[in-house]
Structure 1
């Protein structure tokens, strides 16, 4: 859900709004209580600690690289020709 913010809030509280955008929050900008635009993050950068990733995948089965490549070749079009 987007947070409603006024033009004045955008001007006076831009630091908080920018931090919230960095965290993935969206805003609807209003002028005289009428929505006039939307602020939303373009991308969400998330860094995950490598130890956490290692722990999450600790019990995962090993990947057979050759079988993975064969599966890709069987199901994914590998041609370089442009599509229509």
Structure 2
């Protein structure tokens, strides 16, 4: 971790952000008091491999659709619910 003044951050912002992108953390001071932390985003990724998603989904809890439907009916009521045989786009 490096300590840098607000003025130095303004003057060297490109170099500081390059360091942050490389993994460095900065504490920014104003009048000698630390006021901010500039650090890399820890879990920011643009691409997640399919294998990783499959591994995570494999360990995810199972969904009990019957319990979920009962909970939704209890909360919203089931009188206006569209059934499996109903066409939601049919005009009545």
Task: Classify the TM-score, shorter chain.
Answer: 0.5 to 0.7
SS at match of 2:10: helix
2:3 aligned with 1:17, yes or no?
no
Deviation at 1:44, TM superposition (A): 6.9
**Change over 3 Å in CA distance of 1:79–1:19 after alignment to 2:** same
Tell me the alpha carbon deviations over residues 15-48 of structure 1, each in whole angstroms, 9 at most, x when there is no partner.
1101001101100000011111111111377xxx
**How many residues matched?**
54
> Aligned equivalents of 2:43 and 2:17: distance in 1?
13
Higher alpha-carbon Rg = 2
Q: For structure 2, list consecutive stretches of 5 or more residues without a partner in the other structure.
A: 45-57, 69-92
Q: Comparing both chains, which one has the higher relative contact order based on Cα–Cα distances under 8 Å and sequence gaps of 6 or more?
A: 1
Could you tell me which residue of structure 2 aligns to residue 80 of structure 1?
63
Question: Which consecutive residues of structure 1, in runs of 5 or more, have no partner in the other structure?
Answer: 46-72
What SS class does the counterpart of residue 38 from structure 1 fall into? strand
Q: Closer, same or farther in 2 for the Cα pair 1:10/1:44, shift >3 Å?
A: farther
Runs of 4+ in 1 over 6 A off after TM superposition: none
Tell me, what secondary structure is at the counterpart of 2:28? strand
- Alignment check: 8 A CA contact 1:29 1:35 kept: yes
